[in-house]
Structure 1
Amino acid sequence: MNTKKFWFLVTLGVCQVSSSPVSFCPEDSDVCFQWAVPEAGNENIYFQIDAPTSYQWIGLGIGKKMAGAAMFLMYEDGQGNVTVSNRDGKGHSMPLLGDQDSISLLDGSGVKDGRMIANVLYKNSGNFDFSGSSDWIMAKKEGTPLASVDPDVSIAVHDSHSAFSVNLAQASVALDSNPFSESSDEESDVSGGDATGVTETNSNPNTNLILAHGVILTVVFVAVYPLGSLLMPWLGKWYIHGAWQMVGFLAMWAGFGIGYVVSSDLDIFFDQTHTRLGVVVVALLGMQPILGLLHHIQYRRQGMRGAFGHVHIWYGRALIIMGMVNGGLGLQLTGASDVYVIVYSVVAGISALTYAAYSTFKAIKTEKTEKKK
């Protein structure tokens, strides 16, 4: 154990004997938190956020999920100190500026030895119960410093998040004053840990599931569906077209199922543009096999494309384009880097334009042929 970590843990031990704050460092994380509640019962709560300067911002919130949570964001102010912003969680989107008068940045806060520390007093107005077990969430974003004193500065989407329950009955302190001023003077280098009184209730969703969801549906909407729709005019074999599209259809539902699991875990199912549009597109595409069958039956009877055929073709084309657009919204929702967004946009754009151009050309040619008949 290095000296920095030793002194940090010793300090925590002393604090727990004399004032009993609860401390917690989520597993495989170098971010740590502490809580303390005065015995006086005046609804004040003290908490500390301690994180490396490699993070652009750190968020700590009261609540089970972002929607309705009281969020506290910490980031560098560019002047050797930190800014703490009180914000109101509105779901899986940037939290809005809240009541700044309800928080105070206390002594011991600042930037030192590559770490940001915020000692904060939150004046509860009866909105939350701090007498027992309390639900909290955290989120973090790595990147260049925001270097801002503006409590309403725009922030990028978090890289990861977690949720935990804190037994604040074990965080009781005798005095209604800053319990972290002494511990903040000590250098800390804590890379993880656990604390009595804190239980993780939900960690980050499986990133492999998010990746699988994105890859499957990208392949389906950017490649499988467009190519499958062109197989019919190319080969003239309805069963090849139908079999190919059915493979894409089943893959689409598999990707949708994975997306449902992930979005439910994040509590954003049908709560964001991406998830809403995704549900609509997939649900509408559920009609395509039926429309395709009706088109086939009508074509065999009439020997030419009828109403069901036109609906099946143009309905499908519109939904394929909508699916491509929604893929871009999905990348935006995950906070993907500009490189991924650009690559997807270029590939999807080329696919969409090529598909639209060929489809239009083929439609005009088919219409002329049928008129000659």
Structure 2
Amino acid sequence: MWLPFVLTFLLLQLYQVAALKGDSQCGYLVCVNATVHHDTITYQMTARQERMGWLALGFGRHMAGSDMVVMWRNEDESLTISHRHGYDHTEPQVVEEPLRTAFLPMLQPTVWDSKLNPANTLAFSIPLDKSQWVHKPEKNGTFEPLIWAYGMTRPASPDPHTTIYGHYAAGMLLLNLEKDLPGTPPEDSINDTTMPRPSQDTQTASEERLPYTTHELIVLGHGFLVAIGMLVLLPAGALVARWTRTCTDRWFKLHKLLNYMIALPVILVGWLLGPFAVFEARASHFTDAHQISGVLILVIYLLQLSLGRYIHARRGRPNRATHAPSNIFHVCLGLVVIGAGFLQVRSGMNKWEAHTAKELSHWCHILWKVWIIALPVLYLLGLSLLKRQFYQESHGLNPSSAPKHYVALSPDEGHRSMLFNADIDLDSLPDYGYPNNTTNGLTKEAETAVPLLRRN
């Protein structure tokens, strides 16, 4: 007699579970998972940094004019919910009687992604409100705009009215809360708000389909340009200087073109996108090793460029050593910049994956590992040309050091070659009684060490 009622009840329960809707998305430093159940929605916020003070979720597109729920974990592991309203870029004010009152779920939901830290996860439930949902035809869905904020310092008191310190980062999310959630039914009951966890294949496909946010595109541009400048252009300039200076006097032009005229604007634009990305995320500047190292590397790179221009301006001056300390320091600084660039790019790759939950293509890691080994090998092999370089310099045969209008007349190893400046007026030279255009004249010039040969 009771069997039909029991079956009907179980079918209704299964239908309700299968009908769970919600969405999840990760911002710069905060991930949000939302599950809709009847007229209630549960939001799960997870900080992606180990240090967490407080988390906030606001309902709207901008801080000004948005209601928000601020949460933090106290020293005794209790949770505080504070209803606030944003007014411009000041501390949100406490709302005594909010339009919707948030409350703690009976059970705090388990973390929805194994990559996230459960200790940095806070959840609250609130009555459903579709008044601010926006339909986007291009995305074929209806989305709820949300703003998030992340603070690194925990408020001093569990009182909801206590002062909260300024946020470290903030951003915006769009959640499609009409999307069906895949997963299995909870083990306890329908009132257990444990989030259904998607399968690994479904989760991976969902991550691949997520479009890049504006912030992520800025960060990608920053990483791409800096990587091209630091790992391609600067090493190419160093290899040109190491391998071709004994072969052609045009090596310096190519070295300058790569390291200065092309690399400088590429690196500067890429570097500036970094602070702009932090500003766009409303985060604090120069708060981690990656950001501070980026400033130091840029300063060293600019110093190395300035030193190179100083050396080039003084070349050819009398009594100047062939290998002055400034030349050696210039080379050392260049190698330091390239080495630091490799570490900085690697740090940026790790930071991207940690903050966006989006893994870079596997070939990026492979290419970085291959290049960090191949580049030093190529440079060290180029050091085999030092003997040839020193010989050319000691005999005036080095294309890089010989003035433009000079030619070497004697390649004999016993003494330095005689050089002739074509700008010198031939009429001012002594007359040795033979024409300058005869073969004997050429021989006599070399024998008497008198440079009378004009270079055509």
Structure 1: which 5+ residue stretches go unaligned? 10-23, 35-46, 52-57, 73-85, 89-97, 140-160, 165-181, 190-202
CA contact (8 A) 1:137 1:162 kept: no
Query: Amino acid of the residue matched to residue 343 of structure 2?
Result: V
Q: Larger C-alpha radius of gyration, 1 or 2? A: 2
Assess, with a 3 A threshold, how the Cα gap between structure 1 residues 259 and 136 changes in structure 2: closer, same or farther: closer
Deviation at 1:304, TM superposition (A): 3.1
Query: 1:349 maps to which residue?
Result: 372
Assess, with a 3 A threshold, how the Cα gap between structure 1 residues 271 and 106 changes in structure 2: closer, same or farther: same
Structure 1 residue 255 corresponds to structure 2 residue 270: yes
Query: 1:231 maps to which residue?
Result: 240
Query: 2:53 maps to which residue?
Result: 69
Deviation at 1:212, TM superposition (A): 1.2
TM-score by length of 1: 0.53
> Higher strand proportion, which one?
1
Query: Amino acid of the residue matched to residue 253 of structure 1?
Result: L
User: Could you list the per-position Cα deviations for residues 284-337 of structure 1 after superposition, in whole angstroms to 9, with x for gaps in the alignment?
Assistant: 111233211221133322483423222222211221111111111111111245
Query: 2:298 maps to which residue?
Result: 282
Deviation at 1:120, TM superposition (A): 6.4
For residues 306 and 111 of structure 2, the distance between their equivalents in structure 1, rounded to whole angstroms, comes to 65
Deviation at 1:128, TM superposition (A): 6.5
Assess, with a 3 A threshold, how the Cα gap between structure 1 residues 49 and 127 changes in structure 2: closer, same or farther: farther
Name the SS of the counterpart of 2:331 in structure 1.
helix
Structure 2: which 5+ residue stretches go unaligned? 1-14, 57-70, 81-103, 126-153, 174-188, 197-211, 354-358, 396-415, 417-456
Higher relative contact order (CA 8 A, sep 6+): 1
For residues 167 and 288 of structure 2, the distance between their equivalents in structure 1, rounded to whole angstroms, comes to 20
Identity %: 12
Q: CA RMSD in A?
A: 5.4
Query: 1:59 maps to which residue?
Result: 46
CA contact (8 A) 1:270 1:276 kept: yes
Deviation at 1:362, TM superposition (A): 4.1
Assess, with a 3 A threshold, how the Cα gap between structure 1 residues 112 and 216 changes in structure 2: closer, same or farther: closer
Assess, with a 3 A threshold, how the Cα gap between structure 1 residues 315 and 106 changes in structure 2: closer, same or farther: same
Assess, with a 3 A threshold, how the Cα gap between structure 1 residues 362 and 310 changes in structure 2: closer, same or farther: farther
Deviation at 1:209, TM superposition (A): 1.3
Residue from 301, 322, 325 that aligns with 1:307: 325
Query: 2:342 maps to which residue?
Result: 324
CA contact (8 A) 1:224 1:248 kept: yes
For residues 394 and 384 of structure 2, the distance between their equivalents in structure 1, rounded to whole angstroms, comes to 16
> Higher helix proportion, which one?
1
Name the SS of the counterpart of 1:31 in structure 2.
strand
Q: What does 1:1-373 align with in structure 2 at a 5 Å threshold?
A: 31-32=33-34, 49-50=42-43, 58-59=45-46, 69-70=53-54, 99-103=75-79, 107-109=106-108, 127=157, 130-131=160-161, 162=171, 184=191, 206-232=215-241, 233-234=243-244, 235-237=248-250, 238-246=252-260, 247-264=262-279, 265=281, 267=283, 269-301=285-317, 302=320, 304-335=322-353, 336-337=359-360, 339=362, 342-363=365-386, 365-367=388-390, 369-370=392-393
The size of the alignment, in residue pairs, is: 265
Query: 1:147 maps to which residue?
Result: none
Deviation at 1:283, TM superposition (A): 1.1
Name the SS of the counterpart of 1:101 in structure 2.
coil
User: Could you list the per-position Cα deviations for residues 20-44 of structure 1 after superposition, in whole angstroms to 9, with x for gaps in the alignment?
Assistant: xxxx99899972389xxxxxxxxxx
